Structure 1
């Protein structure tokens, strides 16, 4: 690469890095600007193996600038980019589409209806994020209804009720009402009785296979035309627990010749022998199916708008038959596609995660490798970062991909300005230090000189990461300390000034004192990483965040006797 091209790369990199830093209110990263830089400048691509080395000093220099200095410098280089930043700041913040027919309702009332069979994985965060945001937009109401009327195949976990409410609180929302469906069984019984009297439901003792054959051929079962009194008596026997599981069901009478067989005379109640884990509901054996229970509850709790998966379109159609019998108005419905999350090998499934935890493949729901809300929380990801990323996905009927980088970017925007910088070295190589000061005094934060500097003692030796070790005779700049030149197993302090860094001749690296450093375990999505941090790491409390310079943000988890445990958040 000739000098003219090198200067061009530096200039374009500086503009991109300044724009990126100002937009995200954080230090620029080489990786974050490589893509735009190469995409906008095709002539750079053939030198791709050299580009990172050229722009790294530029990025390091910008990291040491204040926000005001960055904006002034970008104004000098490219005023149009500053104008673009200002225009983006003024854009309308509303991302979600307007709710259908919202002006026809006095109060917008929406519900999240979780099955409490375990803590929430990341995909579960989408519903409360969107509903909570709509609540704020419309000054509406947000219901949490636990759909826990299946004590067998989707057996509730008693701890999950509070865990889910805690997750919603972490995301930043407070429900206006919390309901457990298992507390409302008598209400469902009353509506079933009324539906029977209206001729809209009947008891059926057909074996499941036989009924399925008849249903698929559009043939009515022999019980369909029994009189309501008989169905009522048999339903009361169901309520009293006089039938075995699978022996008797209550069906909603629909259209036995409906073009969609899934809508033909569907089951509203069935018998379950397994007791409910909640003591208050343990005696019930006749349980409503979700479509009946949910349909009744949506009406009785005044839900105006329902959001559900595109795969549940038949639910609205089944429930419409019940609504027609009772002469109720069905809520507005928004169907959306599934959300798929990158960066994880583990499937977004409560049952799959439970299996992996039980098998010891992951440590628990807050293991950094688990795609769960508890895991992100322990890593130091704020709830608002998740909410903003989920809301950005909108309500499309297509399946959508959630890039974890979007959550990380949001979180970086939230925590960067308040997070101290610290040094952490992985698998460090030891070098004696010769000459120079007895301590380093790097800033706590490059954008906030008022926070002062921290003292890092430098006695006999320092640790450098393997990739930062200079060749014998070459120089590096120890961040916050100064320039050193390698001489065998020692680093000798030199009298170079910062111009050697600005010229791109000397790389800036992080380091820790060898003997005064603190052992640190960094738990990451890829596994645990051992290393050493500067001694001041013990000044932080659990839940505090730090940015390990050139490594990434991490949450302090615990100070043990011989080490500090941290959880990696993101770059």
Structure 2
């Protein structure tokens, strides 16, 4: 490396270290700045082996400065970077717009309202991620309400309640209040009776098809003008379970001439013959529809802002009729589009995933091929990374795409610095070894030599990945071990210096010894991949993270006599 290049590397490293240290209010690390440094300066890449040695003393010097001195120096090197930091100081949630009319409320109160009909897929994480972030921004309240008043079509899964709360905890949030709608049926009955007294509801025994014809024609249902006493009596009979499914409903009286037929006299309560799976709610047969139940709960829990899908605009309009009868003020509403997640071959739908798991196509909700939060957790991906990626999507009314690469980038930033390295070879090709040291001593982490080295006894043979095998007469550098030339099916130690890599382009590859290697089943989003890993992997505990060099980050899941199971997180 000539002097001019060294000077440039030092200058760019200083700028990156200052920015990194100020952004995270901590000491900069070589590993954290090497990626941006090499990415923004492609001409540095041929000198990749030398640059850490140039960068390390620069970082050490920067870390010795206090925050004011760092900021002053960064302003000299890159004023734009200081402006970027100032923008970030407004909060990590800067991708989220301010909530409408937030300053008009003493406390911001928001809710996530999951239907507990199964574990959460990845898309479900968007709501708690955004609501939790808003609650933190405004020092507000985060309510979780289980909307479980459909015992039949979206039948609740008894295990899902705790599983969803566990997922919210994994995402880094703790609800201020947890409500279960099926515990509150008597409250909904009470408000239905009040609505009847206000002239806002009537009982209807029309078939669904007959009412639909009337509604679409803008004609009133023949039951619309029942007297309040009859309506109260018939609703009481509904509550007592005297009607079967489809025989009677309670409708909210709206505007029969409304331009949108979907808003004309909508159903508030219906009869369901199927008992609720929760023992506490199993005796109820008269169940509120979601728009009625949700509207009542939002008011009673003081919700100030609702986030819901753009496809649910009619829900707000229906609920406003109920709010108008009671003289309530409707919460602020933010509508957003759906989120689509790439990388997976299966539809991101609870019912679809349930069917495939039940059919044995997947091992369960934590199968790495399943786009679920349980799966991400088992792969070793931190909830914080998923939240950051979801928040970056904002609240656009358009459908948005979530590239999993964004989640992986955030996770890499969180775990890279603390994760030990190891070698693992897929589809290993065996080559005998001639010469060289008895053991290799690569570092546990290339950016932290103080953590020490891992000792890998080499033995008489190694495994290489097929694409890393040198042609006969060519050379290869076994990472952490040394240079070898291929002679037939043998790799012969050449005792050359690292200059053959820097000056002659000899490739550096990972490898594992045949003797003592550990059989690994690597579980990935594309299926299981058989591997062999260096012996030291057996010393890591389940739930530990490793980076298989040149392969990616993995989470150790289990050790058995036959194999070690690891879950692939991401490259």
**Do the structures match in fold with TM over 0.5?**
yes
Deviation at 1:91, TM superposition (A): 3.3
In structure 2, relative to structure 1, the CA distance for the partners of 1:148 and 1:511 (3 Å cut) is: same
In structure 2, relative to structure 1, the CA distance for the partners of 1:133 and 1:259 (3 Å cut) is: same
After superposition, residues 376-415 of structure 1 pair within 5 angstroms as 376-415=376-415
Q: C-alpha separation between the residues in 2 aligned to 1:66 and 1:522?
A: 35
In structure 2, relative to structure 1, the CA distance for the partners of 1:435 and 1:552 (3 Å cut) is: same
CA contact (8 A) 1:29 1:59 kept: no
- Which position in structure 2 is the counterpart of 1:285? 285
- Which position in structure 1 is the counterpart of 2:495? 495
In structure 2, relative to structure 1, the CA distance for the partners of 1:293 and 1:496 (3 Å cut) is: same
Unaligned runs of 5+ in 1: 1-7, 39-53, 73-78
In structure 2, relative to structure 1, the CA distance for the partners of 1:479 and 1:64 (3 Å cut) is: farther
> Is 2:87 the partner of 1:91?
yes
In structure 2, relative to structure 1, the CA distance for the partners of 1:27 and 1:524 (3 Å cut) is: farther
Higher mean displacement: 496-505 or 470-479: 496-505
Deviation at 1:195, TM superposition (A): 0.4
CA contact (8 A) 1:309 1:337 kept: yes
Q: C-alpha separation between the residues in 1 aligned to 2:76 and 2:198?
A: 70
> Is 2:312 the partner of 1:316?
no
Higher mean displacement: 400-409 or 461-470: 461-470
Could you list the per-position Cα deviations for residues 173-229 of structure 1 after superposition, in whole angstroms to 9, with x for gaps in the alignment?
000010000000000000000000110000001111111000001100111011110
Q: C-alpha separation between the residues in 2 aligned to 1:565 and 1:84?
A: 47
Q: C-alpha separation between the residues in 2 aligned to 1:527 and 1:516?
A: 26
In structure 2, relative to structure 1, the CA distance for the partners of 1:65 and 1:129 (3 Å cut) is: farther
Q: C-alpha separation between the residues in 2 aligned to 1:339 and 1:413?
A: 23
Deviation at 1:104, TM superposition (A): 0.9
TM-score, length of structure 1 as denominator length: 0.89
Considering only aligned residues, what root-mean-square deviation do their CA atoms show, in Å? 2.7
Could you list the per-position Cα deviations for residues 47-75 of structure 1 after superposition, in whole angstroms to 9, with x for gaps in the alignment?
xxxxxxx9975556657876666899xxx
Deviation at 1:89, TM superposition (A): 4.3
In structure 2, relative to structure 1, the CA distance for the partners of 1:59 and 1:243 (3 Å cut) is: farther
Q: C-alpha separation between the residues in 1 aligned to 2:212 and 2:77?
A: 65
Could you list the per-position Cα deviations for residues 277-318 of structure 1 after superposition, in whole angstroms to 9, with x for gaps in the alignment?
000000000000000000000000000000000000000000
Q: C-alpha separation between the residues in 2 aligned to 1:242 and 1:116?
A: 28
In structure 2, relative to structure 1, the CA distance for the partners of 1:563 and 1:19 (3 Å cut) is: farther
Deviation at 1:469, TM superposition (A): 0.7
Q: C-alpha separation between the residues in 2 aligned to 1:90 and 1:195?
A: 52
- Which position in structure 2 is the counterpart of 1:75? none
Poorly superposed stretches of 4+, deviation over 4 Å: 22-30, 54-72, 79-90
In structure 2, relative to structure 1, the CA distance for the partners of 1:56 and 1:281 (3 Å cut) is: same
Aligned to 2:87, what secondary structure does the other structure show?
coil
> Is 2:151 the partner of 1:151?
yes
> Is 2:437 the partner of 1:437?
yes
- Which position in structure 1 is the counterpart of 2:472? 472
In structure 2, relative to structure 1, the CA distance for the partners of 1:66 and 1:462 (3 Å cut) is: farther
TM-score, length of structure 2 as denominator length: 0.89
Aligned to 2:497, what secondary structure does the other structure show?
coil
In structure 2, relative to structure 1, the CA distance for the partners of 1:462 and 1:284 (3 Å cut) is: same
Deviation at 1:502, TM superposition (A): 1.6
Unaligned runs of 5+ in 2: 21-28, 62-74
> Is 2:351 the partner of 1:351?
yes
- Which position in structure 2 is the counterpart of 1:374? 374
After superposition, residues 170-181 of structure 1 pair within 5 angstroms as 170-181=170-181
Aligned to 1:516, what secondary structure does the other structure show?
coil
In structure 2, relative to structure 1, the CA distance for the partners of 1:166 and 1:337 (3 Å cut) is: same
Q: C-alpha separation between the residues in 1 aligned to 2:53 and 2:410?
A: 22
- Which position in structure 2 is the counterpart of 1:511? 511
